[in-house]
Amino acid sequence: MATIRKHKNGYRVQIYRNGVRRSKVLPTKRACEDWANRTIYEIDNREKLAVRVPFGDVMSRYAREVSPTKGGRHWETIRLEMLCRDPIALIPIGELSAGDLASWRDRRSAEVGANSVLREISLLSAVLTQARREWGLITANPMSDVRKPKKPAPRDRLPQPDELERLAHAAGDDLTTVTARAFHAFRFASETAMRAGEIVGLTRDNLDLSNRVAHLPMTKNGHARDVPLSSAAVDLIGQLPPDLDPVFGLTSRQLDVLFRKIKSRALVDGLTFHDSRAAALTMLSRKVDVMTLAKISGHRDLRILQNVYYRETAADIAARLG
């Protein structure tokens, strides 16, 4: 049964049915009664209804309701929009099987690398877990029975001095242009280990140049982070036009497109903007211990930092031991 009580914005209707609690504020009692009857029907018949809900609708709901609460919301939303165009989106979630997901994995593996497939598997698994735990649409996550692609060896690509010279020449040194600022952002990333999204979102309010700190209120992992700035990083900021805010005057889309354009002009192959992060952490690993390195980079899993970014060799360590 439903309970309806007067509320400052109309009426609040509450129901408790088969272990499920729901409530809503609506303007009239009639609207509350209609909502309660419909919701009780959905709860009583959720398994039957779930069979008819296309998986694409579930992914879209996740993009609307869950992704905005996460640090990687932009990436998630774009990926979910793309996944909604795949044939798997047409399958009712109640009929979705491990075999369907394995077929999607194989199709996707023919288009992108293993790391991309692994990230998308993790995203789809999160959607299905949400559908099981909180939305009650399924009783098991079929992704748990899907074999994951083998994780490739960590990427080992650093920008070389001659490449940096060619990139600088291709970008130009007029920082009133977006092209020059795109390479300037790469140089800044190579000093700070900040991600592209963190750099384009950096505002002057979040800069404390007297203490050489950049405050990042929201990062990829959903936590704030303070990034120490080298004197070279502070100098790079000082070279930018002072009226720009955000500091680099670029969007994520502009930075991606322009950096690709600069690479093409400079005849530099195989380098990504994210390789600047590896370059910075490689440089910083010679100056600080791995715990400090994690604090700078924002890594919460030291294994990733050690296996992927911490490049100091035994010979390097021996030289420091004396």
Residues 193 and 307 in one domain: yes
Per-residue pLDDT, 311: 60
CB 179 within 8 A of CB 172: yes
Same structural domain, 277 and 168: yes
- Please provide residue 278's backbone torsions phi and psi, each rounded to the nearest 5 degrees: -65, -40
* Residue 244 placed within a domain: yes
Does 231 share its domain with 141? no
In a domain, 310, yes or no: yes
Residues 105 and 254 in one domain: no
For residue 48, pLDDT beyond 80: no
Q: Same domain for 126 and 73? A: yes
Q: Please choose, from the candidates 107, 134, 110, 105, the residue with its C-alpha nearest in 3D space to the C-alpha of residue 120.
A: 105
Asked if the model's pLDDT at residue 16 lies above 70, the reply is yes
Residue 47's pLDDT is 59
Partner residues linked to 225 by β-bridges: 216
Q: Which residues share a beta bridge with 23?
A: 14
Residue 182 lies in a domain: yes
What is the distance between the alpha carbons of residues 86 and 58, in angstroms, rounded to a whole number?
Answer: 14
The Cα–Cα gap between 46 and 32 comes to 20
Tell me: the pLDDT tens digits for 264-307?
A: 999 999 899 988 888 888 887 777 777 777 777 776 666 666 65
Residue 37 identity? N
Q: Is residue 150 part of a domain?
A: no
Q: What pLDDT sits at residue 169? A: 95
Q: What is the mean pLDDT of residues 154-181?
A: 90
Contacts of 230 by beta carbon, 8 Å cutoff, 6+ apart: 191, 192, 212
Q: Which range marks the domain in which residue 103 is found? A: 52-145
CB atoms under 10 Å from CB of 69, counted, come to: 8
Q: Cβ atoms within 10 A of the Cβ of 297, count?
A: 21
What CATH number is given to the structural domain containing 86?
Answer: 1.10.150.130
Is the model's pLDDT at 110 over the cut of 70? yes
Which of 82-91, 167-176, 177-186, 277-286 is the least confident region?
277-286
Residue 94 confidence class, pLDDT cut points 50, 70, 90: confident
**Helix 178-192 vs helix 275-284: angle between axes, to the nearest 10 degrees?**
40
Average pLDDT, the chain: 86
> Residue 151: inside a domain, yes or no?
no
pLDDT at residue 86 greater than cutoff 90: yes
Question: Which amino acids are annotated catalytic?
Answer: 195, 220, 299, 309
pTM, full prediction: 0.60
Residue 178 has pLDDT above 90, yes or no: yes
Q: Are residues 62 and 184 in the same domain?
A: no
Same domain, 185 and 89: no
Q: What are the helix (H) ranges across the chain?
A: 29-44, 46-52, 55-65, 73-83, 98-109, 114-133, 161-171, 178-192, 196-200, 231-238, 252-266, 275-284, 290-297, 302-304, 314-321
Residues 193 and 288 in one domain: yes
93 and 204 together in one domain: no
Q: Is the pLDDT of residue 259 over 90?
A: yes
- H helices within 85-230, ranges in order? 98-109, 114-133, 161-171, 178-192, 196-200
pLDDT value, residue 190: 92
Residue 76 CA to residue 115 CA, distance in Å, equals 15
Query: Same structural domain for residues 261 and 198?
Result: yes
Residue 221 DSSP one-character state: T
Determine phi and psi for 312, rounding to 5 degrees.
-70, 130
Q: What are phi and psi of 22, to 5 degrees?
A: -140, 150
Flag whether 156 is in a domain. Answer: no
In a domain, 154, yes or no: no
